Amino acid sequence: MVKKIAGVLGATGSVGQRFILLLNEHPDFELKYLGASKRSSGKKYSDAVNWKQTDLLPDFAKDIIVSECDPAYFKGCDVVFSGLDADYAGEIESSFKDNGFAVVSNAKNHRREENVPLIVPIVNIDHLDILPKHDKKGFIVCISNCSTAGLVAPLKPLVEKFGPIDALSTVTMQAISGAGFSPGVPGIDILDNIIPYIGGEEDKMEWETKKILGSISQDQSHIKLLTDDEIKVSAQCNRVAVTDGHTECIALRFQNRPAPSVDQVKQALEEYVCDAYKLGCHSAPKQTIHLLEQNDRPQPRLDRNRDNGYGVSVGRVREDPLLDYKMVVLSHNTVIGAAGAGILIAECLLAKNLI
C-alpha cells in the first residue's frame, strides 16, 4: 500500500513533537511536511526544534526543512496534523481547510463548530460520517480536550448498554505535560503543591462531553449536542505533580431505573471494543478499557501506558451515595488526549475512505 502523505503544523511545539514521534515508521503515513513559525522556517528541523521528548528525535525528521504554516507549502499532503497554539490555529487551520486539506487539529478553536466532528477515537468515530466524502472539499476534525477524553471513554459503553446518563461529575488531577513547555507549569508552582485551576478546562469538559456523546443530525450534516436537560455535567480541574496521565474521580447517574448493578457496569466496561479497533486501525487499543480490581489502582505511573497509552484504565467502580456509581479513570493525556488521538483519528479517516 502506498502511504498517505502527512504534514504537521506547529511542529516544534510539544504536541507537534509528539506527532512526529508517532509518525515514525507509521504503516499508513509518511511525514513529509513540517510547518512552524517564521522564525523556524527554512531551517532543518533538528536545528529548529528544542527536542524535549524521552524518545530521541527520529532520524527521518532531522533533515526536513521547516516551512511556514501556509497551504502553499503542503502540496500533495493527504492529512495535516495541527499542534498549533490557539493563538494561531483558528485562521491557519481554516486556510488549510479552504484549500482542500484534511486537517486533524489538537487546538480548541474549531471544536464548537457544528459541522466539525469533535472526536475521541475510542469513543465516537461514527461522528466522522458527517464529513464530505469522495471529493476534494477540505475539512477539519478536532481532537477533544485531554481531560474530556478520559471522562467520556467509560461513558460510551455504559450509555450503549444502559441508556442515558443524566448526571455526571468529575474532579480531575491532571499531569503537567498537558500544559506544553513554553513555559508550561512552573516547577515552583507544582512541586509540593496542587494548582486547583486550569483556565477554561472545566467549561471545555462540561461542554465537550455533550458534543461527543451527542448524535448525528438526520441530514448527516452536523452533530447535535445533548441538552442541559439531558445531562448535567460538573467538572473541577486540578493540576498535580505528575508528568503524564490524567486521573479523574468521576460519579454518574443513569436516567433509567433501576440502574444496572455494579457487576453489569464492570462487565460493560471490560467488554467494550472500540470501533477503531474493529476497523483494524493500527494504533487502536486491543483492550479499550482496562478494568482494574485492586483497590489502589489505577495509578498514573503504573498504568498510563496500557495499550501504548491508547487504552484507558478504570478502577474502584463502586456505588455512590449521591449518584449511582463512582470510579477512578486514568488516561494518557498526550496519547489518547492529544497527539496520539490525532494519529488514530487519521487512521480512522483512512479506514473510512475519508482521506
77 catalytic residue (yes or no): no
Q: Does 262 bind a copy of itself (CB under 8 A)?
A: no
Select which of 69, 146, 237, 348 is catalytic.
146
Q: Is 82 strand, coil or helix?
A: strand
Q: Does 200 bind a copy of itself (CB under 8 A)?
A: no
Which value, in Å, is the radius of gyration of the alpha carbons in the chain? 20
Do residues 253 and 265 touch, judged by C-beta distance below 8 A?
A: no
Q: Does 328 bind a copy of itself (CB under 8 A)?
A: yes
We find the least distance from the C-beta atom of residue 33 to a copy of itself, in angstroms, to be: 26
142 catalytic residue (yes or no): no
Q: 6: part of which helix (H) or strand (E)? A: strand 4-9
Identify the CA nearest to 266 among candidates 293, 241, 236.
Answer: 293
Q: Does 320 bind a copy of itself (CB under 8 A)?
A: yes
Q: Does 177 bind a copy of itself (CB under 8 A)?
A: yes
**Member of 183, 218, 229, 293 binding a copy of itself (CB under 8 A):** 183
Q: Does 169 bind a copy of itself (CB under 8 A)?
A: yes
Kindly state the cell numbers that stand for 30.
509518511
Identify the CA nearest to 210 among candidates 144, 269, 162.
Answer: 144
Q: Is 27 exposed, middle or buried (0-12, 13-18, 19+ CB in 10 A)?
A: exposed
**Member of 195, 216, 262, 279 binding a copy of itself (CB under 8 A):** 195
Half-sphere exposure of 187 (CA within 13 A, CB side): 0
Of the listed pieces 4-12, 119-127, 157-165, 312-320, which binds a copy of itself according to CB under 8 A? 312-320
Of the listed pieces 40-48, 143-151, 162-170, 273-281, which binds a copy of itself according to CB under 8 A? 162-170
Select which of 69, 142, 237, 246 is catalytic.
246
Identify the CA nearest to 330 among candidates 292, 294, 278, 281.
Answer: 292
Q: Does 83 bind a copy of itself (CB under 8 A)?
A: no
DSSP, res 160: H
Q: Is 247 exposed, middle or buried (0-12, 13-18, 19+ CB in 10 A)?
A: buried
Amino acid at residue number 228:
D
Which letter, b or e, does each residue of 131-148 get, where b requires 16 or more Cβ atoms within 10 Å of its Cβ? beeeeeebbbbbbbbbbb
We find the least distance from the C-beta atom of residue 237 to a copy of itself, in angstroms, to be: 9
We find the least distance from the C-beta atom of residue 73 to a copy of itself, in angstroms, to be: 29
Q: Does 185 bind a copy of itself (CB under 8 A)?
A: yes
Starting at the edge strand found earlier in the chain, the sheet holding 325-331 runs 232-239, 165-174, 246-254, 325-331, 312-319, 289-292
**Member of 167, 262, 273, 279 binding a copy of itself (CB under 8 A):** 167
Q: Does 282 bind a copy of itself (CB under 8 A)?
A: no
Of the listed pieces 103-111, 136-144, 172-180, 218-226, which binds a copy of itself according to CB under 8 A? 172-180
We find the least distance from the C-beta atom of residue 328 to a copy of itself, in angstroms, to be: 4
Q: Is 44 strand, coil or helix?
A: strand
Binding mask 19-58 for a copy of itself (x = CB under 8 A): ---------------------------------xxx-x--
**Total binding residues toward a copy of itself, as defined by CB under 8 A:** 60
Identify the CA nearest to 119 among candidates 132, 106, 134.
Answer: 106
Which residues of this protein are in contact with a copy of itself, per CB under 8 A? 52-54, 56, 167-169, 171, 173, 176-177, 179, 181, 183-197, 206, 228, 232-234, 236, 238, 240-243, 247, 249, 251, 295-302, 305-306, 315-316, 320-323, 326, 328
Give the residue numbers marked as catalytic.
146, 246
